[in-house]
Amino acid sequence: MTALPAHVSIVVPTFNEADNIHELLSRISAAIPSGTRAEVVFADDSTDRTCEVIEEAAAYSRVPVVLHHRPVPEGGLGGAVVEGIARASAPWIVVIDADLQHPPELIPELIARGEATGAELVVASRYAAGGDRSGLDGGYRKLVSSTSTLVTKSLFPRALNGLTDPMSGFFAIRRTAVDRASTEDEGLQPLGYKILLELAVRCRPRGIAEVPYAFGERHAGESKSTAREGMRFLRHLITLRTADPRARAVVFGLIGLSGFVPNLALLWLLTTWAPGLHYAPAEIIANQAGLLWNFALIDSFVYRNQRRHRRRGVRLLSFAAVGNIDLVARIPLAALLIGAGGMTALPATALAMAIVFTARFLVVDRWLYRRLQKRTPATTPVTVTRPTPDPVPDPVPDPLG
């Protein structure tokens, strides 16, 4: 069997996986070569007996076990993985699900491929040559998986170049790549269960390799892939895609354009059902519908992670104030450009709209939803179960130095 580096951490996020734990630890222990220093880190969000079963199984495991139960499951399964990685101590970190659809026997090959190629990320792929996704339940889940893969690769062509399965939950990543992302202003912001996408986009690993594998059937328990998780995945995609200010400005503008639909609809209703209402107040009232539409989309999707420091009501009123100032400022600014700048009406209006839009975006982006400094997560008790290990030969030198 291929030898692993001197130290490997295997991170397993769990949510009500009690029936899978004994089999999982048994197969991991069998997969790790004798004499290799390794650990299994469980990051648990369970509401059943999973924690108790992990403690029971750890007593018989040849590989040391670290158990961390999260009192608040922030970020879903992806958040659990990030907390598990934070508690891992190895230069190589392997992430694997607890449902045994990912074969633990592949762990040595993932690490060996990374060492041979120098890649910082090695992904077990269902779509690489030799891979198989037959373990997905039915045509619907296969369609969802294929569509999700196509959409993510289209949105992040550079970050996911060379990666056939960005939806995989089974991969190995070097600690150096994870640490690089943690030094950025926003750091890792997982949402839902597609943690590989978060790591690939934010960590920008230097080199990606793949190992094909057959996605197996679930050993026990229920799938965590639900419609709710699907919505969280969509929000996560938008959050990642708008991490760059230029992308945020584009999405901000597209949402602003979509606001003309409710604006014009309400204006039509007001002028049709209240013909005595003057056009100016009707336009002002209709503009509020567009602002509410824009706020709902921008607040829920574009700036979802920057909402903590202001209450929703304050954000809504501030957003509406900025939007109404925008409406008032456009006409006099265009008039100024025509009168003082000698411009004709059309270019003056277009330039005024561009100036006002830029100012509006900057106020919303830099003030209303300003980036806060990263919070240091509160420490919580970690239970460490260390069985008596087998005799270990002289350690293999750490390839990372």
Asked, for residue 329, whether it belongs to a domain, the answer is yes
In a domain, 11, yes or no: yes
For residue 181, the model assigns a pLDDT of 75
Tell me if 292 is assigned to some domain.
yes
**What distance in Å separates the CA atoms of residue 2 and residue 110, rounded to the nearest whole number?**
10
Flag whether 392 is in a domain.
no
Closest CA to 169 of 95, 100, 114: 95
60 and 204 share one domain: yes
13: left (phi over 0), alpha (psi -120 to 50) or beta: beta
Q: Is the pTM above the cut of 0.75?
A: no
Do residues 217 and 275 both lie within one domain?
A: no
- The pLDDT assigned to 111 comes to 94
From CA 316, how far away is CA 364, in angstroms rounded?
A: 11
Q: Which of the residue ranges 144-158, 203-217, 218-232, 271-285 would you say has the lowest mean pLDDT?
A: 218-232
**Residues 305 and 362 reside in one and the same domain:** yes
**Span 174-182, mean pLDDT?**
85
Region 203-228 average pLDDT: 71
Per-residue pLDDT at 1 exceeds 70: no
Residues 354 and 206 placed together within one structural domain of the fold: no
Asked whether residue 194 falls in the same domain as residue 288, the answer is: no
pLDDT of 344 over the 60 cut: yes
What pLDDT is attached to residue 159?
Answer: 78
| Residue of higher predicted confidence among 354 and 371 | 354
Looking at the predicted structure, is the pLDDT value of residue 148 above 80? Answer: no
Whether the predicted pLDDT of 392 surpasses 50: no
Flag whether pLDDT at 104 surpasses 90: yes
How far, rounded to the nearest angstrom, does the alpha carbon of residue 96 sit from its chain's CA centroid?
17
Higher-pLDDT residue of 150 and 38 is 38
Q: What is the pLDDT of residues 292-325, one digit of tens each?
A: 999 999 888 788 767 766 888 889 999 989 988 8
Q: Is 398 helix (H, G, I), strand (E, B) or coil?
A: coil
Total of domains in the chain: 2
Residue type, 300: S
- In 10 A of CB 18, how many CB atoms? 20
In a domain, 374, yes or no: no
What confidence category does residue 140 fall into, taking pLDDT thresholds of 50, 70 and 90? low
- Domain-located, residue 240: no
Q: Which residues, in sequence order, are CB contacts of 54 under 8 Å at separation 6+?
A: 14, 21, 42, 44, 65, 67
391: pLDDT strictly greater than 50: no
State the pLDDT confidence band at 130, using cuts at 50, 70 and 90.
Answer: confident
CA-CA-CA-CA torsion sign (343, 348, 350, 352): positive
Distances (CA, A) of 334 to 10, 44, 291, 361, 363: 61, 58, 22, 19, 20
Residues 207, 120: contact at Cβ < 8 Å?
Answer: yes
pLDDT score for 332: 84
Domain boundary among 166, 191, 224: 224
- Claim to verify: residue 252 and residue 219 sit in the same structural domain: no
CB 306 within 8 A of CB 372: yes
**286 shares a domain with 140:** no
For the stretch 73-93, pLDDT in tens is: 887 788 889 899 999 989 999
The domain boundary residue, chosen from 191, 224, 257: 224
Decide if pLDDT at 251 tops 50.
yes
Residue 14 domain flag = yes
Both 218 and 251 in one domain: the answer is: no
DSSP 26-48: HHHHHHSPTT-EEEEEEEE--SS
Side by side, the strands of the sheet bearing 7-14 are 208-212, 121-125, 171-174, 92-95, 7-14, 37-44, 65-69, 383-385
Q: Domain span at residue 343?
A: 245-368
Tell the residue number behind the tokens 């992806």, with chain if given: 78
Q: Is 2 part of a structural domain of the chain?
A: no
Is 217 found in the same domain as 278?
no
Q: Can you say whether the dihedral through the CA atoms of 78, 83, 87, 90 is positive or negative?
A: positive
Helix, strand, coil in percent for the chain, rounding step 5: 50, 10, 40
Percentage with pLDDT > 70 across the chain: 79
Contact 265, 289 (CB under 8 A): yes
SS3 assignment, position 11: strand
CATH for 150: 3.90.550.10
C-alpha 132/C-alpha 165 separation (Å) is 11
**220 and 261 fall within a common domain:** no
Whole-number pLDDT of residue 193? 59
Query: Concatenated DSSP letters for 344-369?
Result: -HHHHHHHHHHHHHHHHHHHIIIIIT
More confident residue, 154 or 53: 53
Q: Which comes out higher in pLDDT, residue 186 or 343?
A: 343
Residues 250 and 146 reside in one and the same domain: no
Q: In whole angstroms, give the CA distance from residue 226 to residue 223.
A: 8
